[in-house]
């Protein structure tokens, strides 16, 4: 038996299909990538100034009226309930500044006349920021 040797040929690698696949992947990544430029906002932040003057909050005047008709101006009881006494106490507490906010707090059982008297005195002194409140717990 005679065996003959064949000449072996070197295997060839076909690069055409590999190049096709690489090009398709490149095109896919280029199309799917978004080239969005993110918007930017320039903000100029304020600088702190150490020489700025801090203004004190405005004071407030409180007139409290109890069920028995006793007036308290900023927690201090007045000697009587006459309008002149209320006027003098308001002038002393406000130091002539009628732009201060004024709150009239009356007990739920206080007479309406006492509240009206306090409002009248405050109005004659020129107070314009007047608030009225009621208190359920009597203060005596």
pLDDT at 53: 61
pLDDT at 23: 95
What are the chain's domains? 61-135 (3.30.420.270)
Strands (E), the chain: 61-65, 71-73, 76-77, 102-107, 130-135
* pLDDT one-digit tens code per residue, 84-123: 999 999 888 888 888 888 889 988 888 889 999 999 998 8
Helix or strand holding residue 16 (H, E) = helix 15-32
DSSP 40: -
Which residue ranges in the chain fall short of pLDDT 50? 57
pLDDT at 21: 93
pLDDT at 26: 94
């Amino acid at each position: 038996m005679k065996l003959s040797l064949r000449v072996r040929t070197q295997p060839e690698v076909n690069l055409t299909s590999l190049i096709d696949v690489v090009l398709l992947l490149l095109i896919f990544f280029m199309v799917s990538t978004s080239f969005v430029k993110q918007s930017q906002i320039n903000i100029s932040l304020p600088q702190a100034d150490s020489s700025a003057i801090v203004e004190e909050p405005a004071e407030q005047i409180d007139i409290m009226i109890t069920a028995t008709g006793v007036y308290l101006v900023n927690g201090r009881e007045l000697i009587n309930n006459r309008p002149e006494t209320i006027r003098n106490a308001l002038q002393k507490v406000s130091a002539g500044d009628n732009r201060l906010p004024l709150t009239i707090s009356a007990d739920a059982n206080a007479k309406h006349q006492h509240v009206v008297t306090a409002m009248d005195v405050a109005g004659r002194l020129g107070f314009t920021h007047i608030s009225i409140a009621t208190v359920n717990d009597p203060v005596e």
